[in-house]
Amino acid sequence: MKRLILVAVAILLSVGCYAKKTFSLWQLPSQRNDIGNSYVIRTHSGKLIVMDGGYEAERDYLCGFLAALGGEVEAWMVSHPHNDHMGTLKDLLEKPNGIKINKIYHSRFTEALIDTEDKVWADYTRVFYSLLDNLKETEVIDCHCGDEFSIDGIKFKILGEKNPDILGNGYNNSSMVIKMWDKHKSFIFLGDLGVEAGDKLLASEYAKDLECDYLQLAHHGNWAVKKNFYEKVKFRAALWSSPSWLYNNMGSQGFNTGHYESVIVRGWMEELGIKEHYVSCEGLAKIE
């Protein structure tokens, strides 16, 4: 009997240890009620991965967060070069502030695609790319659809990349779409994916990979892919990188009196039966 008890305890301990071998993800809260898109992942052995990182104004918060976890980022993934997604990273490349970055993954835009934005944004993007080109201790990886790689037991697959053939809403429609998973849970990050790129993804060979537990809603849940896209993606929880004024479509008359689509998208989620929501304006969220 004693031997059986010891075996049972050993099994329970091994199951407990195995269950812990997964990653944690934090959705960082919006700072100053801005729209920054920022996620931090910690692997089971403590390596750090950043998705986007948010606005320049969110730099101090993110740096403090990363420093508390060791300050070394194994991989930093950039959906697209709008500053609410990569502004903090651009600032850190100019002044690292003690943060070490080993690898940066992105989908590099063509010159024609860069020129679809006004001069301010185009110049901003070129400065960012110049910083990437001159890095000496950080590996920069240009990603393409179908690329697969692993980081400390977490698997990644690129489902969407730059779309130089879609010049309308060009930056958002060229958001890199990333799937991330292990044996316990899966995420898909859509960046700011637009209608046209969403339709292209649904018609591609990668549509079969559009299944996950947690889905980062495109463009902060506003003016992005349409309902048919969310209907075809099988997911159970929604990640909203949304400030309160956007999430609630706040206008001069209060709730849902603005000109945004966010409350419409919230209705879509209800129709799809999505009951689990993580909203950045509601504070720091951790998923284990």
Single-letter residue type at 103: K
Contact between 54 and 85 under an 8 Å Cβ cutoff? The reply is yes
Reduced to 3 states (helix: H, G, I; strand: E, B; else coil), residue 53 is coil
Confidence of residue 19 (pLDDT cuts 50, 70, 90): low
Note the pLDDT of residue 30: 85
Residue 7 has pLDDT above 50, yes or no: no
Distance CA(103)–CA(218), nearest Å, equals 24
**Crossing angle for the helix pair 119-133 and 83-94, to the nearest 10 degrees:** 40
Q: Where do the DSSP E strands lie in 100-200?
A: 100-101, 103-106, 139-142, 148-151, 154-160, 177-181, 186-189
∠ at Cα 277 (213, 257), nearest 5°?
Answer: 135
pTM of the prediction?
0.93
Sheet holding 154-160, edge to edge: 148-151, 154-160, 177-181, 186-189, 214-216, 237-240, 276-279
For the chain, what percent of residues have pLDDT higher than 90? 90
Note the pLDDT of residue 33: 84
Q: What are phi and psi of 29, to 5 degrees?
A: -70, 150
Written as six digits, the tokens of 256 are: 């849902």
Confidence of residue 9 (pLDDT cuts 50, 70, 90): very low
∠ at Cα 233 (34, 246), nearest 5°?
Answer: 20
Distance CA(203)–CA(195), nearest Å, equals 12
CATH number 3.30.1300.10 is the correct assignment for the domain at 22-287: no
Mean pLDDT of 136-154: 98
Residue 6: how many CB atoms within 10 A of its CB?
10
Note the pLDDT of residue 35: 87
Distance CA(240)–CA(228), nearest Å, equals 18
Residue 228: how many CB atoms within 10 A of its CB?
12
**Residue 253: DSSP 8-state:** T
Distance CA(151)–CA(53), nearest Å, equals 18
Instruction: Please tell me the number of Cα atoms within 13 Å of 240 on its side-chain side.
Output: 24
Answer positive or negative: Cα dihedral of 260, 280, 33, 175: negative
pLDDT tens digit string along 202-256?
Answer: 999 999 999 999 999 999 999 999 999 999 999 999 999 999 999 999 999 999 9
Distance CA(45)–CA(141), nearest Å, equals 23
